[in-house]
A and B are shown apart, each in its own frame.
Chain A
Amino acid sequence: QLQLQESGPGLVKPSETLSLTCSVSGASITSSGYYWGWIRQPPGKGLEWIASIYYTGITYYNPSLKSRVTMSLETSKNQFSLKMNSVTAADTAFYYCARVPPHSSSIDYWGQGTLVTVSS
């Protein structure tokens, strides 16, 4: 059974860097054809795609966040990560990691989500 689990600080100060890791169990993040991604949701609001990474390491970013975001694979740990710099209160949200299977563009597995609050 595939499981995705987000981890990282729940509180980040304004102007600092948000760092999150998604640990994947039950599948290899280097399995052919899979995309892995990050989506966020401010409390009580809608969903926003942040970034995706192909199993080869090719990255795709939301243009609205591209200048502040970096996503990478950590294959030895079967994890992938998200870094977002220069955070503000507007970046306060639940952050979900997710998987998109081959020949598909829908998200079939989500992590449980982790709340990141940006505050001094």
Chain B
Amino acid sequence: DIQMTQSLSSLSASVGDRVTITCRASQTVTSYLNWYQQKPGKAPKLLIYGASSLHSGVPSRFSGSGSGTGFTLTISGLQPEDFASYYCQQTYSSPQTFGGGTKVEIK
């Protein structure tokens, strides 16, 4: 199985900050990398697919980059509604696997 590692399990940030969340794959996943946002008690929501494509309806302050084994999710100008957990997912190889998540908390 491909292991997905999000090195930070949590980070603290303020409204307006630029936040970068990283995800590393144990082997290449090319661009088969998705990002999800999850709020407490809710199902995850798709933010980014194909490493860098913005899902319909997702604010443009969210962006994704990377390929191969290293990926980043950037929130440019953190908003109050962005405080949540974020998960990366690889779908290059079965079984698809998720990172452990990064929780963005209010500083």
Contacts and interface: CB of A to CB of B under 8 A. Distances in A.
A46 B99 contact: yes
Interface residues of A, number: 18
A2 interface: no
Q: Is the interface of A mostly helix, strand, loop or mixed?
A: loop
Nearest to A107: B46
B87 A113 contact: no
B95 A108 contact: no
Given A62-B95, A105-B96, A106-B91, A47 B32 contact: no
Contact of B98 (A46, A64, A111, A113): A46
Interface string A55-69: 000001011100000
Q: Is the interface of B mostly helix, strand, loop or mixed?
A: loop
Interface residues on B, range: 20 to 34
A46 B100 contact: yes
Nearest to A113: B43
Given A49-B95, A49-B98, A106 B87 contact: no
Contacts of B61: none
Interface of B: 1, 32, 34, 36, 42-46, 49-50, 55, 87, 89, 91, 94-101
17 contacts: A46-B98, A46-B99, A47-B44, A47-B98, A48-B98, A49-B96, A62-B95, A63-B95, A64-B95, A105-B91, A106-B55, A106-B89, A107-B44, A110-B44, A111-B43, A112-B42, A113-B43
